[in-house]
């Protein structure tokens, strides 16, 4: 087991990629804290994990609110004694261009998708430093943060910020034996903020010839939070089925089988 006895806190773990991660991490021996703003969704995942014989709790709160974040951390530390792994997965998106976007929606997306990883990491890293045994932090980015797109102006800005935030965090936390990396998916599982039933209806053009799954991302995440990636710092692991690799190809060469 790659994570035996370790404590993993995963935000936005009530669905899709977050849910797949906590299921895999638990199977690899981790104690799980499901961080969610939706109590029913989060508790459902916790109940599933507990029924499967895993040690799991719900850490309820809004990642963009400092008081909520501190309470989440207290909940985890009181139950498990510390935190070894953090995955900043919680995010919301928009579908607006800069011309039809609203300031209110822009602020909300930035608060949850970019400020959230900043706040949660700030307070979890302080806890890891107090523990004195290092830790691993993984931020979830997106291909939307690496290329321009016709909509999602706030989401593109937030995810681009997450990628460089990761590099800065890696530099600043490495002296405390805390490794920070990020993972960049593309069209894996269900869309951000939408029901899992939408997962099979998404269009795609990639080299893999299939849609990504939440499990694809969970397996990559396991690598980045385990000792298998012990020499990896500040990296952005792109798990996109080859979308970015083929970005400049003529469309007739794209694989869509």
Element of type H or E holding 57: strand 56-60
pLDDT digits over 29-66, tens only?
Answer: 999 999 999 999 999 999 999 999 999 999 999 999 99
Q: Which residues are catalytic?
A: 155
Q: Band the pLDDT of 197: cuts 50, 70, 90.
A: low
DSSP state of 212: B
Domain count, the chain: 1
CA 118 to each of CA 65, 71, 77, 115, 176: distance values in angstroms, whole numbers, following the listed order = 11, 16, 19, 5, 17
* Domain limits for position 74: 7-253
Report CA torsion sign: 203, 207, 209, 215: negative
Instruction: Note whether residue 35 is domain-resident.
Output: yes
- Count of alpha carbons within 13 angstroms of residue 136, beta-carbon side: 24
Residue 130 has φ and ψ, to the nearest 5°, of -60, -35
Domain assignment present for residue 2? The answer is no
Residue 97, Cβ neighbours under 10 Å: how many? 12
Asked if residue 194 has pLDDT above 60, the reply is no
Please choose, from the candidates 114, 60, 121, the residue with its C-alpha nearest in 3D space to the C-alpha of residue 92.
Answer: 114
Calpha distance 188→191 (Å, rounded): 8
Q: Which pTM does this prediction carry? A: 0.93
pLDDT in tens, 125-174: 999 999 999 999 999 999 999 999 999 999 999 999 999 999 999 999 99
Residue 221: its H or E element: helix 214-225
In the predicted structure, residue 257 carries a pLDDT above the cut 50: no
Confidence tier at 254 by pLDDT (50, 70, 90): very low
Residue 75: count other Cβ atoms within 10 Å of its Cβ: 18
CATH at residue 114: 3.40.50.720
How far apart (Å, rounded) are the C-alpha atoms in residues 211 and 207? 10
């Amino acid at each position: 087991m790659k994570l035996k006895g370790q404590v993993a806190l995963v935000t936005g773990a009530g669905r899709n990629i977050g849910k797949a991660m906590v299921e895999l991490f638990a199977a690899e021996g981790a104690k799980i804290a499901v961080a969610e703003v939706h109590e029913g969704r989060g508790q459902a995942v916790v109940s599933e994990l507990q029924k499967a014989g895993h040690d799991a709790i719900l850490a309820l709160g809004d990642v963009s609110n400092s008081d909520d974040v501190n309470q989440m951390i207290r909940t985890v530390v009181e139950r498990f004694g510390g935190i070894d792994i953090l995955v900043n997965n919680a995010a919301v998106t928009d579908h607006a261009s800069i011309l039809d976007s609203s300031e209110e929606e822009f602020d909300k997306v930035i608060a949850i998708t970019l400020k959230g990883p900043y706040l949660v990491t700030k307070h979890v890293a302080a806890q890891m430093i107090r523990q004195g045994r290092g830790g691993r932090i993984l931020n979830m980015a997106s291909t939307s943060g690496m290329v321009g797109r016709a909509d999602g102006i706030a989401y593109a800005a937030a995810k681009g910020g997450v990628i460089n935030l990761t590099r800065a965090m890696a530099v600043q936390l490495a002296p405390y034996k805390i490794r920070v990396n990020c993972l960049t998916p593309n069209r894996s599982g269900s869309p951000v903020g939408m029901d899992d039933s939408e997962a099979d209806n998404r269009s795609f053009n990639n080299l893999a010839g299939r849609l990504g799954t939440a499990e694809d991302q969970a397996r990559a995440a396991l690598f980045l939070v385990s000792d298998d990636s012990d020499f990896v710092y500040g990296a952005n692991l792109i798990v996109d089925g080859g979308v970015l690799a083929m970005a400049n190809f003529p469309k007739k060469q794209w694989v869509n089988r």
